[in-house]
């Protein structure tokens, strides 16, 4: 299996790094400028702070009702855009929020998520 991206674990929380490229796409790379939490409790695509979404080339497609970890429901805008991992581009949806990678995105990007607490490393594999 080919490793698509490597991340790290800090205080038992897995992260991947990313940055926004000149074309406005999120690029996931180990040497990225900011961290995104791998959130197995988030069933969706990707959540990013509003200021990051404003830098991106994303299209507003809808508004949706989302249930937060607190149980509260909120209405949020839903955006469509692309993410680059290695040499592949993956289309997905984004919402404003904390920097989170959800299970829907992770399952469309790779087939195996490996979390190694001893090595403090997380990997997404093809």
pLDDT of residue 23: 95
- Whether pTM exceeds 0.85: yes
Predicted confidence band of residue 70 (pLDDT cuts 50, 70, 90): confident
Task: Give phi and psi for 55, each to the nearest 5.
Answer: -80, -15
pLDDT of residue 61: 97
* Residue 32 DSSP code: -
The predicted-structure confidence for 91-101, as pLDDT tens digits, reads as follows 999 999 999 99
Q: Mean pLDDT over all residues of the chain?
A: 95
Residues of the chain with pLDDT > 70, as a percent, come to 100
Mean pLDDT of 82-103: 95
Cα end-to-end distance, the chain, whole Å: 6
User: Given a cut of 90, is residue 67 above it in pLDDT?
Assistant: no
User: Given a cut of 90, is residue 69 above it in pLDDT?
Assistant: no
Determine the Cα–Cα distance for residues 79 and 2; give it in Å rounded to an integer.
Answer: 29
Map out the domains of the chain with their CATH numbers: 3-125 (2.40.70)
Predicted confidence band of residue 57 (pLDDT cuts 50, 70, 90): very high
* Residue 90 DSSP code: E
CB 96 within 8 A of CB 111: no
Number of Cβ atoms within 10 Å of the Cβ of 16? 24
Mean pLDDT of 79-91: 95
């Amino acid at each position: 299996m080919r490793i698509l991206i490597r991340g790290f674990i800090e205080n038992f929380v897995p992260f991947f790094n990313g940055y926004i490229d000149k074309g406005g796409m999120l690029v996931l790379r180990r040497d990225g400028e900011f961290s995104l939490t791998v959130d197995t409790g988030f069933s969706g695509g990707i959540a990013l702070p509003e200021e990051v979404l404003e830098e991106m080339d994303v299209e507003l497609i809808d508004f949706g009702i989302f249930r937060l970890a607190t149980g509260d429901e909120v209405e949020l805008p839903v955006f469509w855009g692309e993410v680059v991992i290695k040499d592949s581009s993956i289309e997905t949806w984004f919402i404003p929020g904390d920097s989170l990678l959800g299970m829907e995105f992770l399952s469309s990007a790779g087939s195996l998520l490996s979390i190694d607490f001893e090595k403090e490393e997380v990997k997404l594999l093809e």
